[in-house]
Structure 1
Amino acid sequence: MKKFKLNGNEYEFEGLTFNSVCRLEELGVDITSANEKPMSFLRAILALAVGDANTAGDELQAHLMNGGSLDEIAKIISEEIADSDFFQAVQGKTSKLKTVK
C-alpha cells in the first residue's frame, strides 16, 4: 500500500487485488485497455483510493488546475501496477493465452 498526497489530502492505495479490479470494472474500466480511455482509467484508479469516481475527478481537476501534472499521478499508478502480484499474475496468464491462439 502506498500513501500519496494530492491537493493537500493524504490518500492510500490498497493495491491492485482481485476485488479492486472488480471495482474498476464496476466503474466501467477494464484495466487491460487503459490506453483506450486514459482519463477514465486514471480517474477510476484514483477512485479506489479516494472513495468514488466523482471525488477522484474533482481531485484530478484541482491537481491540474493548481499546476500539477498527470505524470505525477501516472507514476504513482505505474508503481502500484508494478507492485501488484495479482495484476502481474493476470498479465502473465493473459499473455500465455494470446500466444496459444
Structure 2
Amino acid sequence: MYMPWSHPDGYWSASFDQPEPDSHDLRIEALVAQRLSIDWTTRRQQITVSVQNRVAILAGLVYGEEARRVAAELAWDVPGVFDVCNMLRIADRRRGRR
C-alpha cells in the first residue's frame, strides 16, 4: 500500500502509479469476507481480508487455533482462490489480567 505524497507543485501523487484492482480479486475478496461473516467460528473475530492475484490474505486477531484454521479453510473453499496466506495471530486472553 502506498501513501499519497505531494509533489512540490501539489500535482503528483503515488496513487497514480498503482494499478487498478483486478475485478476477479474484488469478487473473491467479497466472497471470502462474506463466508467469514456467516460462519459462527469466525464471524466475531477481527479478520481483515485482502486478495492479490487470487491469493487470499487473512490478517488480524482471532481467539483460538480453531478460528484460525477455520478461517483458512473457508477462504480455500471460495471458487477462484489460488492460495491462502494465513497471517492471523492468536490473541492472548490472559494479557491484561492480574
TM-score by length of 2: 0.30
TM-score by length of 1: 0.30
Higher RCO (C-alpha 8 Å, min separation 6): 1
Larger radius of gyration: 2
